[in-house]
């Protein structure tokens, strides 16, 4: 297939299965400059599917970098009102949102993490922020995170290949893991059916808690939120529209009980966040809260994550991914959570998805909190799956079931 055709197929998948755009619905796309061919193809597909309007926000990690480097602290703390209003305008029109992830691994080199955090805090403490974040976290409208390569990212992923090959090589890996073959729509229907089957089994077990153990030193118990729901693959928006929040995806996930996490968990992949690569890190939990943590590299970033707000030191997501998932099998470290989290069992510090709790999306914040669902201003995934990971589930009647053996589901 020619590159233009492949981009068209990927765009069609994102519009039809990713956000499943409805007739008369607007679409917002966020993209960097290198991803323009995909953003433009998505725009065309969305209009063909009946979108009322399509808006593309073009940005670049280096534009953010120089803002952070050269603006005064006072300026960084100001959030332009029109930016928040632009989001709210779309939300009130029932917008669908596509975000094209295409990270630039070196962009934040030399930027003070404190300034990154300062800007984030300003955004998060803005009075309009909660409504904007809730729109996607509670699936009020359809949203989809997908991906497109850029040269800097591709060089980081394939440091030993000739420079002229890296872009195409990364694009191939994205297409393969995103199941973009001759008929991606059909491939995703099958994949979604498989993911639904696995979620159903987990829901029928209705575990009280899961216990994780491996040779790296992970030994911890995570209670699940009572009345939890496991989901994976496609989800439904508040209006009942089926969509795929992540392309690719391999996880089934739910919400932990905020105060029911105890023990130590060791990360199995580096975490690329805030423009930095955190390596060889671990967390220790007591009654849900991170009480100790460490990293061989970029510990300051870990500190930003844990101390961001009162909820950011509690878990908000527990996700299961078999070690033999296609992304893990590709052997590629993508330095991008969208891919790396789908190669491995993971957890997330911070905000939980209300859809993981029965009736959760209709509850008030206070009711969700009371049920044990974590609230925070961030959601940061980190990977904990390994080849020797064992997970034992305990039901409410005390009986146990082996869920994972040697890194994979037992069923």
Q: How far apart are CA 44 and CA 338, in angstroms?
A: 25
User: Which residue number, 171 or 272, has a Cβ lying nearer to Zn ion?
Assistant: 272
Question: Segment contacting Zn ion (CB under 5 A): 79-87, 183-191, 263-271, 374-382?
Answer: 374-382
- CB of 255: closest distance to Zn ion in angstroms? 11
DSSP for residue 139: T
d(CA 148, CA 306): 30
Question: Which residues from 206-265 bind Zn ion, rule CB under 5 A?
Answer: 251, 253
**Segment interacting with Zn ion, rule: CB under 5 A, options 23-31, 307-315, 317-325, 358-366:** 317-325
Closest CA to 267 of 255, 256, 283, 253: 283
Which of 63, 238, 236 has the alpha carbon at shortest distance from 135?
238
327 binds Zn ion (CB under 5 A): no
Per DSSP, the residues of 232-280 read ES-EE-TT--EE-SBSS---EEE-EEEEEEEEEEE-SS-EEETTEEEEE
Considering only the stretches 74-82, 297-305, 316-324, 359-367, report the one whose residues sit in contact with Zn ion under the rule CB under 5 A.
316-324
> From CA 392, how far away is CA 404, in angstroms rounded?
7
Q: What separation, in Å, do the N-terminal and C-terminal C-alpha atoms of the chain show?
A: 37
* Choice between 15 and 319, CB closer to Zn ion: 319
CB 275 within 8 A of CB 263: no
39/403 with CB nearer Zn ion: 403
Least separation in angstroms between residue 353's CB and Zn ion is 8
Closest distance of CB 248 from Zn ion, Å: 12
Q: How far is the CB of 127 from Zn ion (least distance, A)?
A: 25
- In angstroms, rounded to a whole number, what is the distance separating the alpha carbons of residues 145 and 252? 17
CB of 379 to Zn ion, least distance (A): 6
Judged by CB under 5 A, the chain residues 379 through 398 that form the site for Zn ion are 381
CB 308 within 8 A of CB 379: no
- For strands 276-286 and 315-320, give the pairing: unpaired
Evaluate the omega torsion of the peptide bond into residue 270 and state whether it is cis, within 30 degrees of 0: no
* Dist CA 66 CA 44 (whole Å): 32
Q: How many residues are listed for the chain in this entry?
A: 411
From 72-80, 97-105, 198-206, 378-386, give the range in contact with Zn ion by CB under 5 A. Answer: 378-386
Give the interface size with Zn ion as a residue count (CB under 5 A).
6
Task: Rank residues 15 and 343 by Cβ distance to Zn ion and give the closer one.
Answer: 343
Site track 162-191 with Zn ion (rule: CB under 5 A), x = hit? ------------------------------
Residue from 166, 180, 348, 373 in contact with Zn ion (CB under 5 A): 348
Contact pattern from residue 3 through residue 32 relative to Zn ion, giving x for each residue in contact according to CB under 5 A and a dash for the rest: ------------------------------
Choosing from 61, 146, 267, 319, the residue that interacts with Zn ion (CB under 5 A) is 319
Output the smallest distance, CB 236 to Zn ion, in A: 17
Min separation Cβ 349 and Zn ion, Å? 10
Report in angstroms how near the CB of residue 294 gets to Zn ion at its nearest.
22
Residues 291-310 that bind Zn ion (CB under 5 A): none
**Between residues 235 and 381, which has the closer beta carbon with respect to Zn ion?**
381
Binding positions for Zn ion, 351-370, rule CB under 5 A:
none
8 Å CB contact between 269 and 342: no
Residue selected from 34, 317, 340, 390 as contacting Zn ion according to rule CB under 5 A:
317
In the complex, minimum distance from the CB of residue 158 to Zn ion, in angstroms, rounded to a whole number: 25
φ and ψ at residue 352, rounded to 5 degrees = -95, 160
| CA pair distance 43, 16, nearest whole angstrom | 12
In angstroms, give the least distance from the CB of 352 to Zn ion: 10
Which residues in 53-112 contact Zn ion (CB under 5 A)?
none
d(CA 79, CA 184): 40
DSSP of 309-337: STTTTBEEEEEE--TT-HHHHTT---SSH
Residues that bind Zn ion (CB under 5 A): 251, 253, 317, 319, 348, 381
């Amino acid at each position: 297939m020619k590159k233009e055709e492949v981009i068209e197929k990927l765009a069609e998948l994102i519009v039809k299965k990713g956000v499943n755009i409805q007739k008369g619905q607007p679409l917002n796309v966020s993209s960097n400059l290198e991803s323009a061919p995909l953003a433009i193809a998505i725009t065309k597909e969305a209009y063909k599917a009946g979108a009322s309007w399509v808006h593309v926000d073009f940005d670049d990690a280096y534009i953010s970098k120089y803002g952070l480097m050269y603006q005064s602290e006072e300026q960084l703390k100001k959030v332009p009102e029109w930016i928040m209003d632009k989001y709210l305008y779309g939300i009130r029109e029932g917008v669908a949102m596509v975000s094209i992830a295409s990270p630039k691994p070196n962009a934040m080199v030399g930027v003070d993490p404190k300034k990154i955090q300062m800007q984030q805090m300003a955004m998060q403490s803005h009075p309009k922020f909660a409504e904007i974040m809730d729109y996607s976290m509670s699936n009020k409208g359809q949203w989809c995170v997908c991906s497109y390569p850029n040269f800097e990212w591709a060089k980081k992923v394939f440091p030993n290949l000739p420079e002229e090959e890296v872009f195409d090589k990364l694009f191939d890996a994205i297409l393969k893991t995103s199941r973009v073959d001759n008929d991606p729509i059909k491939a995703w229907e099958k994949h979604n059916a498989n993911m639904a089957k696995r979620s159903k089994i987990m829901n029928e077990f209705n575990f009280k808690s899961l216990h994780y153990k491996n040779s790296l030193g992970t030994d911890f118990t995570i209670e699940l939120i009572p009345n939890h729901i496991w989901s994976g693959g496609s989800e439904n928006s508040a209006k009942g529209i089926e969509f795929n929040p992540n392309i690719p995806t391999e996880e089934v996930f739910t919400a932990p009980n905020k105060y029911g996490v105890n023990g130590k968990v060791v990360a199995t992949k580096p975490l690329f966040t805030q423009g930095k690569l955190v390596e060889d890190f671990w967390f220790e939990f007591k009654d849900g809260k991170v009480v100790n943590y460490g990293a061989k590299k970029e510990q300051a970033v870990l500190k930003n994550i844990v101390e961001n707000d009162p909820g950011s030191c509690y878990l908000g997501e527990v996700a299961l991914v078999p070690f033999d998932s296609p992304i893990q099998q590709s052997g590629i470290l993508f330095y991008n959570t969208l891919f790396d989290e789908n190669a491995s069992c993971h957890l997330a510090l911070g905000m939980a998805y209300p859809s993981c709790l029965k009736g959760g999306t209709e509850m008030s914040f206070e009711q969700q909190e009371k049920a044990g669902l974590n609230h925070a201003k961030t959601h940061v995934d980190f990977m904990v799956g390994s080849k020797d990971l064992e997970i034992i589930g305990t039901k409410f009647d005390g009986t146990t079931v082996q869920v994972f053996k040697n890194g994979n589901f037992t069923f």
